[in-house]
Amino acid sequence: MHSITLGRTGLKATIAGLGCGGHSRIGLNLYGLDHAAGIVRAAYDEGVNFFDTATVYGTQGAVGKGLEGIPRDTYILSTKFPYKDKTADDMVKTLEESLRELKTDYVDLYHLHGVLPADYPRVRDTFVPVMQKLKKEGKIRFPGITELFDTDTGHEMVQVSLKEDLFDVIMVGYNLLNPSAVERVLPLSLEKNVGVLCMFAVRKALHDPEQLAKDVRKILETGQADPSLVKPENTLDFLTQKGIAASIPDAAYRFCRHTKGIDIVLTGTGSADHLRQNLRSIQAPPLPAEALEQLRSMFGRVDCISGQ
């Protein structure tokens, strides 16, 4: 598994990280704690050293169980604080609960979770001082922030946070249907050496033709794509018909992995076999230049959908 240095944190992380949220919750909802912990251990055994969870996912216990007994300095833990209707004291209590579930004394990354643009000033003023205190206490190593890409598809919040430069790591929605982060986020994150975690590399629209058609119709209705290039049906089939990629998700992971400024691509699943398939895609070569240019021509102006 290839590794990178995660921005100014200096952490040596694998290019693929296990995302423990999403629809699957690493299989927790369908198959229970032991199965989910097994997915975590399978990812580690495949060479993954980056694990991303959150209080609201309900998977911190599975991550803790899956990594139990493994030397703590061989993996990186990322979790998140649900800020809505919470106080500074709540952050301290919530982190303590996370540490107990994760069976550790510290987390490497602690994020403010899914911050809306309108909430950012209050969230910054309330919680950043607490994060700095927790860092001094050794309970978190680096503060981070994640956007709510479902609604903030144009990255309004994270653009503001990057300018203020209070966070060492950000989590950004980015995929081949909405690549707007490549112009609006990544130049500034690279300039400031802020680590970037990529979420939404593959969401429903990139494995469900019906959802893809729905999203493409929205893109066309908003005038963000050329209808002579983008059709509501089968618009991404050229990626597989021309032998460019094994599947649309395969192309989507490779698209994100080889974007300059993207450090870690998160992938989530409840199946060990599917996990291994996704890891192969993330480690595969980049898409051909001609395919990248075609995707840029088709979706380069899009910022209205997330692919969810």
Please indicate, yes or no, if residue 33 is contained in any of the structural domains: yes
Instruction: Return the pLDDT at 112.
Output: 98
Q: Choose among 120, 100, 107, 114: nearest CA to 75.
A: 107
**Three-state SS sequence of 212-227:** HHHHHHHHHHCCCCCC
Average pLDDT (222-226) is: 98
Question: Is residue 157 included in any domain, yes or no?
Answer: yes
Residue 161 has a pLDDT of 98
Q: What is the pLDDT of residues 231-243, one digit of tens each?
A: 999 999 999 998 9
- 193-211 pLDDT, tens digit per residue, is 999 999 999 999 999 999 9
In a domain, 156, yes or no: yes
pLDDT per residue over 35-90, tens digit each?
Answer: 999 999 999 999 999 999 999 999 999 999 999 999 999 999 999 999 999 999 99
276 occurs within a structural domain: yes
User: Does residue 212 sit within a domain?
Assistant: no
Any domain includes 231: no
Give the model's confidence band at 146: pLDDT under 50 very low, under 70 low, under 90 confident, else very high: very high
Whether residue 174 contacts residue 151, with contact meaning beta carbons closer than 8 Å, is answered with no
Between strands 3-5 and 12-14, the pairing is: antiparallel
Per-residue pLDDT at 78: 98
Token code pair at residue 106: 């510290």
Helices 272-283 and 248-257, interaxial angle, to 10°?
A: 50
Indicate the number of domains in the chain: 1
Within a domain: 43: yes
| 209 assigned to some structural domain | no
CA–CA separation, 297 vs 291, rounded Å? Answer: 10
In this structure, what CATH number is given to the domain that contains residue 161?
Answer: 3.20.20.100
Per residue in 89-142, pLDDT (tens digit) is 999 999 999 999 999 999 999 999 999 999 999 999 999 999 999 999 999 999
User: What pLDDT sits at residue 216?
Assistant: 98
Domain limits for position 126: 3-203+260-288
pLDDT at 116: 98
Tens digits of residue pLDDT in 248-292: 999 999 999 999 999 999 999 999 999 999 999 999 999 999 999
pLDDT for 87 equals: 98
